[in-house]
């Protein structure tokens, strides 16, 4: 069994895989990590390997706790990947993007796949039908857009995401919802259309915390998979065992 830890910008996700089957999942905060890792390893004594992916600053105590129970692989740009990496600055590639590209590589072998991860940031990852990671894009996420309107202006309020009733906002709050939600959905649809114009038979995967909210508004046909990054980390762990 494998223990997977994805420490993102806003939360930490823990998962246990038995081969390729997800058998446990929990979302938590960084402070609860050491205790939860011990509880999970006690409950699943067959866990033999683990992988830690962090885009922020993860307390080294977590890795030390994990190392008591199993072999730990800390994901870095130097970790082995199954795809050909054509990113010009491979050493600066985020570990979350590496995991998404790996998931795309295994999910859709020998096919063109675009992964859209709608989280704190919105990232776009492209793996072509030669198994080559080409790169993509990084954009502000949904909540980041709401926060920027509040922090970068004098009077606009901080709102929680809400689906606009109409694209014409008839109040300041409705105008913000329309601008943020419609703007991001049009961005994602527009980016997908750009990729479709270049890559034949493109498969699009939508993942990330805001995927359920945004998927209802997108015009393009997509496959939503909220655990796509965790699956990629599990694949990477298996690939780096050898």
Domain CATH for 178: 3.30.420.40
- Is 64 annotated as belonging to a binding site? no
- Is 12 annotated as belonging to a binding site? yes
pLDDT for position 31: 80
Range 69-75 contact pairs with CB under 8 angstroms and sequence separation of 24 or more: 69/37, 69/38, 69/41, 70/3, 70/41, 73/49, 73/237, 73/240, 73/241, 75/51, 75/99, 75/233, 75/236
- Is 172 annotated as belonging to a binding site? yes
pLDDT for position 119: 92
Asked if 18 contacts 41 with a C-beta cutoff of 8 angstroms, the reply is no
Mean pLDDT by 10 residues, the chain (242 residues): 89 92 91 86 94 81 84 93 96 95 94 95 97 97 97 96 94 97 96 96 95 90 91 96 81
Tell me the HSE value of 100 on the side-chain side, using a 13 A CA sphere. 29
- Is 8 annotated as belonging to a binding site? yes
- Cα-based distances in Å from 96 to 9, 57, 138, 202, 215: 11, 14, 12, 22, 21
pLDDT for position 81: 96
Is 68 exposed, middle or buried (CB count within 10 Å of its CB: 0-12, 13-18, 19+)?
exposed
105 shares its domain with 180: yes
Distance CA 206, CA 118 (A): 7
pLDDT for position 199: 96
Residue 197 belongs to what domain range?
A: 84-232
70 shares its domain with 95: no
How many helices (H) does the chain have, and how many strands (E)? 8, 11
- Is 216 annotated as belonging to a binding site? no
Tell me the HSE value of 222 on the side-chain side, using a 13 A CA sphere. 26
pLDDT for position 98: 97
Q: Is 155 among the domain residues?
A: yes
67 shares its domain with 88: no
Q: Is 237 among the domain residues?
A: no
70 shares its domain with 88: no
Distance CA 130, CA 144 (A): 35
Q: Which candidate in 18, 29, 59, 96 is catalytic?
A: 96
Strand pairing partners for 27? 13
Domain stops at, among 29, 45, 74: 74
Domain stops at, among 52, 74, 96: 74
**Other C-beta atoms within 10 Å of 3: how many?**
25
Number of compact structural domains in the chain: 2
pLDDT for position 228: 96
Distance CA 120, CA 241 (A): 30
- Is 95 annotated as belonging to a binding site? yes
Q: Given strand 113-118, what is the order of strands in its sheet?
A: 84-85, 132-140, 121-127, 113-118, 203-207, 223-224
- Is 128 annotated as belonging to a binding site? no
Q: Is 242 among the domain residues?
A: no
Known catalytic membership, residue 96: yes
Domain stops at, among 74, 108, 138: 74
pLDDT for position 62: 76
């Amino acid at each position: 069994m494998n223990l997977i830890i994805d420490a993102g910008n806003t939360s930490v996700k823990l998962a246990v895989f038995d081969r390729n089957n997800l058998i446990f999942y929990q979302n938590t905060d960084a402070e609860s990590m050491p205790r939860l890792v011990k509880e999970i390893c006690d409950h699943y004594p067959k866990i033999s390997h683990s992988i830690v992916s962090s885009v922020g600053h993860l307390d080294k105590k977590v890795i030390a706790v994990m190392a008591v129970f199993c072999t730990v692989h800390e994901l870095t740009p130097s970790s082995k990947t199954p795809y050909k990496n054509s990113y010009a600055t491979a050493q600066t590639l985020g570990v979350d993007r590496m995991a998404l590209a790996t998931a795309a590589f295994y999910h859709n072998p020998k096919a063109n796949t675009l992964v859209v991860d709608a989280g704190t940031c919105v990232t776009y990852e492209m793996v072509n039908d030669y198994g080559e990671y080409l790169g993509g894009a990084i954009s502000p996420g949904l909540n980041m857009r709401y926060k920027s309107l509040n922090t970068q202006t004098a009077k606009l309020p901080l709102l929680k995401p809400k689906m606009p009733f109409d694209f014409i906002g008839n109040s300041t709050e409705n105008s913000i919802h329309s601008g943020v939600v419609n703007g991001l959905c049009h961005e994602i649809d527009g980016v997908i259309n750009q990729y479709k114009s270049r890559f034949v038979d493109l498969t699009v995967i939508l993942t990330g915390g805001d995927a359920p909210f945004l998927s209802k508004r997108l015009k393009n046909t997509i496959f939503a998979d909220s655990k796509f990054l965790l699956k990629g980390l599990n694949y990477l762990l298996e690939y780096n065992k050898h």
